[in-house]
Structure 1
Amino acid sequence: MKKLVTPFRVGLLVIAAGAFFFAFYMFARKGGLSDKDSTAVWAYFRDASGLSAKSRVQIAGIPVGEISSITLEGTRAKVWLKIRRDVELHEDAVLTKRSESLLGDFLLDLNPGTEQAPAMQDNGQIKRVIDSQGMEAIFQSLTQITADIQQVTGALRDVLGGEKGAGSLQRIVENLIHLSESVDDTVRSSGEKLNAILTNFQGVSEDVRGVTRENEAEVTRIIDNIEGITKDVREVLNTVKTVVGSNQGDLKEGVSSLKDTIQKLDRTLGNLEKITEGVRNGDGVVGTLLTDRQLGQKLTDAVSDVSDYATRLTGLQTEVGLQATYLVAQGRSKNSLSLRLIPKPDKYYLLEIIDDPRGLVEVQVVQNNPPASGQPVVQTQKIIKETFKISAQFAKRYYFTTLRFGLIESTGGVGADLHFLDDALTLKMDAFNFSAEELRYPRLRATLRAQAFDHLFVTAGMDDILNAQQRDTATQRLIAGRDFFFGGGLFFTDDDLKALLPSVPAP
């Protein structure tokens, strides 16, 4: 038995080694990326030397793919790449061939492109390729540089070499020595004079600076006057050139016209001086505005308020809606016209006019005098009137919930809206009619609104959920109780209506 254990162990070791070698060979043959986990792209290279199958493709030094194969098409190399699918490639991607070491190995740097460009599909082409030069090209460039240096050194040798070149260099050096000595003697002999000149110039500049500093305001005024005088002289010269004609008669007429113009200008300046003096003293409306700070502040506040009101008015959005629903138990339709004023995206004001078939229930007291046989003297009667109802609500939105309160169908009430699917689906809950005698519980209504298209919607729900049905004995009209309904409507924005709102008289 012991003789069989050792061969058995050796056989197992051989089988394990063979399986490992086979798995390693299949992995090396297949590559690090499978077709399922990678995107296949290709690019043309003028020079693919140093590249081989399984060469790395990296972004910012991190491997993101490999070369799968290299084929020859015409005079260019077609290189196929496998890039990981989590790398988003775009059609403006860039490939750069870069040397990995001095031994001639190369890799590819990948720039995936910008987000504005379309995404690259499988088997797409990377059109922007940068072929970097190899070591041979670098050595060739160094050889050319060395040859140029040799030519320069040869030319220097021809010029400066030999006895003639040496003599020329010696004369150049002697001339430089004589020049430096001459400059040194000149500076030494003229140093005192230069110091005196600089001292005098410094004293003059200090005196000028002191005068200008003490009379800065006067100097500024003189400069302003000089500018004004030069401007006036320039204008007068231009006028004289224009007025002076080609003969003496034209000159006389021009001078006469110039005198009249100067006189008119003098009178105008006098009038202007009186006006400015009156404005300075606060005379007239303009003077009052310029001198009365309180009035000016009030005018500024009024302009600011008008600007703020105009800004809010231009930002106000108006929405007009029409809705029609069919009441199943009632057997009639209910119509409404709504107006939403939206100053901000998270709040709005709602005004509605509703034509409700339930009408308005009124209680009348009738006194019979004398009463009929078996009837009381005083009787109460409920009368249903067909009339329009009004809703006026204020709504404020918090995240996906909108809260409403105000008048709902001519009675006080509250409501809440739950928004889903980017406001395409809305669940509305309304509670109102808290004090109606014909209702045991407040009127509670649930509405589901779906908006599948722009400006169009459909609705369905149940009205008066908590109360049992009650009908008018004379007309069999439903005046209370549960009733299903369904319908739809449309809405649109109206900028013209927004422009008419400021002209509506306030109560």
Structure 2
Amino acid sequence: MNNLQQTARVGLFFLLGLALTWVTFETLRGGKIFKDQGYNLIAGFETLKELKDGDEVRMAGVKIGEVEKTRLAGRRAEAILRISHEVKIKSDATASIVSAGLLGTNYIGVDLGTESAPDLPDGAEIKTKTTPDLNSVMSQIGDLGKKLEGALGNLGTALSGDGKGGPGIIQKVDQLVSENRESINKTTTNLQAITDKVNKGEGTLGKLINDPKLHDDLVAALGEIKQGAAEAKTFIANAQAIVDQVKAGKGTIGALVFDQKAGDDIRASIATIRAVSDKISRGEGTLGKLLNDDSILRDAQSIMKKADRALDGLDDTGPISAVGVVYRGLF
């Protein structure tokens, strides 16, 4: 009996060790002893990068499932996602492979999608997008470094020359300065002389800088110019207002320019005046005869002489006699 009990105990401990080993293994793989069956979704990518079975599927940073299996399907790689039945993924949601830090493991990240969109059924394919990983970023940085190195090499060649006798920018500038050193010295001397004159108040610029009165006069002149510009602006605005009124047919000028009836009346008046002038020129009518007939002028002069003689005789006669004298003198 002792051997049988001992054998039973050994077998029991062996089974218990297997159970503990299985529990530990399952716990390390998925974080659960008993998996949530959930439902499956298919995510297709150009490459799964370092994604492997058992990696997490997260939505908004929360674990909602895991990668059940990875496989190669034709010209692309697919990941079979096991999603918890408590989580519903919308049909417009997008899955991408995300790296947990620079040296962390990869996982599938799923966005929330649109709330009004329908849910993806079991076995459906979820939309995916490719995100740059550390390797592609490092490759791009390496390419950028090569381009930068080439650009710096070209800049160095341009500055110092190509090493085959061709001068660079620095050599060209040095040569230019050497060849024109005398001219540069003369120019510098002239500039120094001009600066000295300006500091002494000589010349127009020197007076402008050093003479306070000239400066004040210049400021006053600028003020007058500004005032004149403001007045000119006001005049232009008033003229524009008058032009607008004329265009609108307002006022006398506007009526003359744009009122057809006023224009017709003016033309009719001018025609009437011209006709009267023509009649007067031809001696027609009373005014025409007065201006053109000399006999009427002579008759008027004769009447005036008679009236003058009649008035001379009024002094010696009475009122009644005076009337008779005037009547005889005139007629």
Q: TM-score if structure 1 supplies the norm length?
A: 0.37
Q: Structure 1 residues 242 and 190 mapped into 2: Cα distance closer, same or farther (>3 Å)?
A: farther
Structure 1 residue 138, shift from structure 2 partner: 2.6
1:256 is aligned to 2:260: no
- 1:169–1:86 distance in 2 versus 1, CA, 3 Å: farther
Code of the aligned partner of 1:77:
A
Partner of 1:114: 114
Aligned to 1:99: 99
Return the offset for 1:234. 3.4
Query: Retained in 2: the 8 A contact 1:57–1:67?
Result: yes
Map residues 139-150 of structure 1 onto 2, 5 A cutoff: 139-150=138-149
- Give me the whole-angstrom Cα distance separating, in 2, the residues matched to 1:124 and 1:187: 85
Q: CA deviation at 1:133?
A: 2.6
With over 3 angstroms needed to count, the CA separation of the structure-2 counterparts of 1:67 and 1:205, relative to structure 1, is farther
Q: Matches of 2:68 and 2:197 in 1, distance apart?
A: 84
Larger radius of gyration: 2
- Structure 1 residues 46 and 31, CA, compared in 2 at 3 Å: closer, same or farther? farther
Counterpart in 1 of 2:243? 233
Per the TM alignment, residue 45 of structure 1 is displaced from its structure 2 partner at its CA by 0.7
1:395-474 residue pairs with structure 2 within 5 A? none
Q: What are the equivalent positions in structure 2 for 1:54-69 lying under 5 Å apart?
A: 54-69=54-69
Distance 1:122 1:203, change over 3 A: same
CA distance in 2, matches of 1:238, 1:111: 66
**Paired residues of 1:58 and 1:110 also in contact (CA < 8 A):** yes
Match of 1:136 in 2: 135
Q: Residues 195 and 51 of structure 1: is their aligned pair in 2 closer, same or farther, counting only changes over 3 Å?
A: farther
- Specify the SS of the correspondent of 1:20: helix
1:204 aligns with 2:193: no
Contact 1:31 1:54 in 2 (8 A): no
| 1:243–1:255 Cα contact (<8 Å) kept | no
Higher percent of residues as helix? 2
Partners of 1:173 and 1:71 lie apart in 2 by 72
User: Partner of 2:68: helix, strand, or coil?
Assistant: strand
d(CA) in 2 for partners of 1:229, 1:156: 63
SS at match of 1:126: strand
CA distance in 2, matches of 1:238, 1:6: 124
Q: Which has the higher contact order (CA 8 A, sep 6+)?
A: 2
Structure 2, unpaired ranges of 5+: 200-205, 270-331
Residue in 1 aligned with 2:51? Answer: 51
Q: Name the residue aligned to 2:155.
A: 156
Tell me the distance in 2 between the aligned counterparts of 1:132 and 1:147: 24
Contact 1:45/1:131, CA 8 A, preserved across alignment: yes
Aligned equivalent of 1:170, options 174, 177, 186: 174
The answer as to whether partners of 2:57 and 2:110 remain within 8 angstroms in 1 is: yes
TM-score normalized by the length of structure 2: 0.54
Specify whether residues 230 and 106 from structure 1 end up closer, same or farther in structure 2 by C-alpha distance, changes over 3 A only: same
Question: Over residues 155-180 of structure 1, what are the superposed CA-to-partner deviations in whole Å (9 max), with x where a residue is unaligned?
Answer: 234332346224224357889xx699
Point out the structure with the larger strand share: 1
Q: How much has 1:113 moved relative to structure 2?
A: 0.7
How far off its partner does 1:251 sit?
12
| Matching of residue 16 in structure 1 with residue 16 in structure 2 | yes
- Alpha-carbon distance change, 103 to 231 in structure 1, aligned in 2, over 3 angstroms: same
Distance in 2, Cα, partners of 1:46 & 1:252: 87
Secondary structure of residue in 2 paired with 1:92? coil
Q: 2-side partners of 1:6 and 1:115: how far apart? A: 63
Kindly state the Cα deviation for residue 21 of structure 1 after the two structures are TM-superposed.
Answer: 0.6
> Which residue in 2 is equivalent to 1:124?
124
For residues 386-413 of structure 1, the C-alpha deviation after alignment (integer angstroms, 9 at most, x for no partner) is xxxxxxxxxxxxxxxxxxxxxxxxxxxx
With over 3 angstroms needed to count, the CA separation of the structure-2 counterparts of 1:205 and 1:93, relative to structure 1, is: farther
Do the aligned partners of 2:246 and 2:257 also contact (CA within 8 Å) in 1? Answer: no
Give percent identity, aligned residues only: 22
Secondary structure, counterpart of 2:72 in structure 1: strand
CA shift, 1:228, in A, is 5.2
3-state SS of paired residue (2:42): strand
Gaps of 5+ in 1: 212-218, 260-507
Instruction: Answer whether contact 1:96 1:109 (CA < 8 A) is retained.
Output: yes
Q: CA deviation at 1:122?
A: 2.6
CA offsets per residue over residues 422-441 of structure 1, 9 Å max, x none?
Answer: xxxxxxxxxxxxxxxxxxxx
Q: Could you say if the C-alpha distance between residues 8 and 120 of structure 1 is closer, same or farther in structure 2, counting changes exceeding 3 Å?
A: closer
Once the 2 structures are TM-superposed, how far is the Cα of residue 202 of structure 1 from its aligned partner?
8.5
CA distance, structure 2, for counterparts of residue 74 and residue 230 of structure 1: 79
- By how many angstroms is 1:229 displaced? 4.6
SS in 1 for 2:48: coil
Distance (Å, rounded) in 1 between the aligned partners of 2:141 and 2:248: 71
In the alignment, the residues of structure 1 paired with residue 265 and residue 195 of structure 2 have an alpha-carbon distance, to the nearest angstrom, of 64
Secondary structure, aligned partner of 2:19: helix
Distance in 2 between residues matched to 1:202 and 1:13, nearest whole Å: 111
Equivalent in the alignment of 1:71: 71
Matches of 1:14 and 1:112 in 2, distance apart? 47
Shift in CA distance, 55/26, structure 1 to aligned 2, threshold 3 Å: closer
Identify the residue that residue 84 of structure 2 maps to in structure 1.
84
User: Within 5 Å, which residues of 2 pair with 1:322-361?
Assistant: none
- Structure 1 residues 97 and 226, CA gap change in structure 2 (3 angstroms): same
Deviation at 1:224, TM superposition (A): 7.8
Residue identity in the other structure for 2:243: V
